[in-house]
Copies of this chain bind each other. A is one copy, B any other.
Amino acid sequence: MQAVPPGATIGILGGGQLGRMLALAAARLGYRCHIYAPEADPPAGAVAAQVTRADFTDRAALARFAASCAVVTYEFENIPVAPVAELAATVPVRPGIEALRITQDRLLEKRFCQQRGIATAPFRAVGSAAELDQAIAELGLPLVLKTRRMGYDGKGQAKIAKAEAAAAAFAALRSDELIAEGFIGFRRELSVVLARGADGRIVSWGPVQNIHRNHILWRTYAPARLDDRLRNDAERIAASLAEGLEYVGVLAVELFDCGDRLLVNEMAPRVHNSGHWTMDAAVTSQFEQHIRAICGLPLGSAERLCDAVMENLIGDEVKTWPALLAEPNAKLHLYGKAEARPGRKMGHVNRLYPLGQAPQL
C-alpha cells in the first residue's frame, strides 16, 4: 500500500466528537480533512478544511466526496454498508467494509468471535416471539434482548427477568432482527484499544477499566489493574479479532472480566471513548494512531507517559468546566456542541497521575 502523504485530504464519514478529534490529530500531521455528515454544523466541521452535508445514502454526494479524498474513514459504525462499499470502489476505505459490516451487527460480531474461538456471552438470533421463547428456554433467565443494529449507550435493548415479560420486550423493540444474550455476572468491564497498521503490525495501549452510569461510559482507568494472565488474554483476544478482520486503523474491544475468564462484549471499528485518555497520557494518541494507520504510515509508540483517569462530561456536567480548568493535573476537552442535552457527551477530562499513582477503584 502506497502511503497517503501529509498534505493529502482525509475523508471522515460522520461529524461528531470522534470525527472532530480525528480531524485535529490529522491537522497536526499536516493533512486536510473533509467531513461528511448529515447534520448541520457538526462538531468536526469547525476544525476541517471542507464539509459536505448530506445523508449517508446520497450516492451522488458520496461520489463527489470520494473524489476529493485520498483515503476515507468512518467515525461511527452505524452507517449503511452498501453506499460505503460503492465508495470503496473509487477510494481506499479504512478500516474496511467487512469490519463495518460485521461490527455494526451484534449477531455477526458474536458469530465472528465464535469463528475465532473467542468467548462471548451465549447468544441466539431472535426474529420472532417464538424464537425469543426458544432462546429463553435455551439460555435461561435473565437475558438481554437487543437490536442487532444501531444500538449504543444502552439504546435498543431490554433486560428480561421473567418469561411473562418476554412478549412485551419483543414488541417494544419493534424489530425482527434481534439477538438474545445470556446474562453475564461479570466483575468489571475492561476494554483494549489497539491499532493495526497497513503492514499488519499491532500496537496496543493495554487494557483499561471502564465504569458506566446509565449505560453510558463515565470513567476509564488507565491502566486497568490486572494480573499477567488476564492482561495477556485481553491483548491476545483483541489482537486476534484485529487480525481476523484484516483490520487497518484503531479498534476497540470491550470485555467482561468474569474473574477467571474474559468474554467479548462488543467491538467498535473506530477510535473509542475508552481511548480518550491517550490524548494526554500516551506518546501517541488513538486519534493520531488511527490517522497513521489509515494513511499507511508507521504506527507510533503507545507508551504511557503517565497514568490517567478519563471522565466523560455528560449533559449539564459540562458546566463544571471552570472548576476543571483550575485543576492542575486535569486536561479538559470540549467538543463545541451548542446544546447540553441530557445524556449527550459534551466533553471529557483526563486527570493525569505519575506512573503507578492513579487512584484505584
List residues of A whose CB falls within 8 A of some B CB.
3, 5-7, 20, 23-24, 27-33, 45-49, 283, 292, 297-298, 300-301, 303, 305-306, 321-322, 325-326, 328-329, 331-336, 338, 347, 352
Cβ contact within 8 Å between B47 and A336: no
**Which of A301, A305, A325 has the most chain B CB within a 10 Å cutoff?**
A325
A-B contact sample (18 more), CB < 8 A, given A27-B47, A47-B49, A283-B329: A5-B321, A6-B321, A6-B334, A6-B336, A7-B334, A7-B338, A23-B47, A24-B27, A27-B46, A27-B336, A29-B333, A30-B321, A30-B334, A30-B335, A32-B46, A32-B336, A300-B325, A303-B328
**Which of A6, A31, A321 has the most chain B CB within a 10 Å cutoff?**
A6
How many copies are assembled?
2
Cβ contact within 8 Å between B328 and A28: no
Q: Which residue of B lies closest to A9 (CB)?
A: B46
CA distance A91 to B132 in the complex (A): 64
A306: chain B residues at CB < 8 Å are 305
User: With A283-B352, A325-B298, A328-B301 known to touch, is A20 a contact of B29 (CB < 8 Å)?
Assistant: no
A27: chain B residues at CB < 8 Å are 20, 24, 46-47, 336
Cβ contact within 8 Å between A283 and B331: yes
Q: Which residue of B lies closest to A352 (CB)?
A: B283
A29 in complex: contacting residue of B303, B334, B338, CB < 8 Å: B334
CA distance A82 to B199 in the complex (A): 56
Cβ contact within 8 Å between A47 and B24: yes
